[in-house]
């Protein structure tokens, strides 16, 4: 029998969206307020969903305590109260859009769980705007 377990997490972080090949005017045209020079913050929320077989010895797909620790180590420690553009080296050259952040989070968590498990991440940048990634190209 398969089931899906999910856990929510959150972090607050700053970012700025821009393409340094474009001038400021073009950046504002494409990214709006998100391109303002001095960064802005979001209260990001995310949902990690893991689907897999229920282990008959534990009754778990994956221990939620273990998942909680993975999210703390891999995501919250890295992102919370940080400037994503300046503090996380992978985003020195990648625009920290919700799309790019959700893929980054997926890769971090996927490395820590069994390859038999299917992972999906939903990342909320605002209450109304969210993006999903499940590892498929």
Question: Rounded to whole angstroms, how far apart are CA atoms 81 and 90?
Answer: 17
- Residues of this chain, 18-37, that bind Ni ion according to CB under 5 A: 34
Distance in Å, CB of 45 to Ni ion, minimum: 14
99 as an active site residue: the answer is no
Instruction: Exactly one of 81, 90, 99, 132 is catalytic; name it.
Output: 81
Which one, 42 or 120, has the nearer CB to Ni ion?
Answer: 42
Q: Are 130 and 122 in contact (CB under 8 A)?
A: yes
Question: Rounded to whole angstroms, how far apart are CA atoms 53 and 110?
Answer: 16
Instruction: Exactly one of 10, 34, 74, 90 is catalytic; name it.
Output: 34
Short-list 15, 34, 14, CA closest to 24: 34
Which one, 34 or 62, has the nearer CB to Ni ion?
Answer: 34
Q: Are 4 and 60 in contact (CB under 8 A)?
A: no
101 binds Ni ion (CB under 5 A): no
84 binds Ni ion (CB under 5 A): no
The single residue listed with the structure tokens 């400021």 is 24
Question: Rounded to whole angstroms, how far apart are CA atoms 81 and 91?
Answer: 15
Q: Report the residue number whose CB is nearest to Ni ion.
A: 34
Which one, 75 or 119, has the nearer CB to Ni ion?
Answer: 75
81 as an active site residue: the answer is yes
Q: Which two tokens stand for residue 29?
A: 């045209």
20 as an active site residue: the answer is no
Cite the active site residues.
Answer: 34, 81, 125
Q: Which residues bind Ni ion (CB under 5 A)?
A: 34
């Amino acid at each position: 029998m398969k089931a899906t377990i999910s856990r929510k997490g959150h972090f607050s972080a700053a970012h700025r969206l821009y393409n340094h090949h474009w001038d400021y005017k073009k950046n504002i045209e494409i990214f709006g307020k998100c391109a303002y020079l001095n960064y802005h913050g979001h209260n990001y929320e995310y949902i990690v969903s893991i689907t897999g077989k229920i282990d008959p010895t534990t009754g778990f797909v994956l221990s939620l305590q273990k998942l909680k620790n993975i999210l703390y180590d891999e995501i919250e420690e890295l992102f919370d109260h940080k400037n994503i553009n300046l503090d996380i080296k992978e985003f020195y050259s990648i625009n920290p859009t919700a799309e790019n952040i959700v893929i980054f989070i997926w890769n971090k968590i996927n490395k820590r769980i069994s390859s038999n498990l299917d992972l999906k991440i939903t990342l909320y940048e605002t209450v109304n705007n969210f993006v999903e990634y499940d590892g498929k190209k």
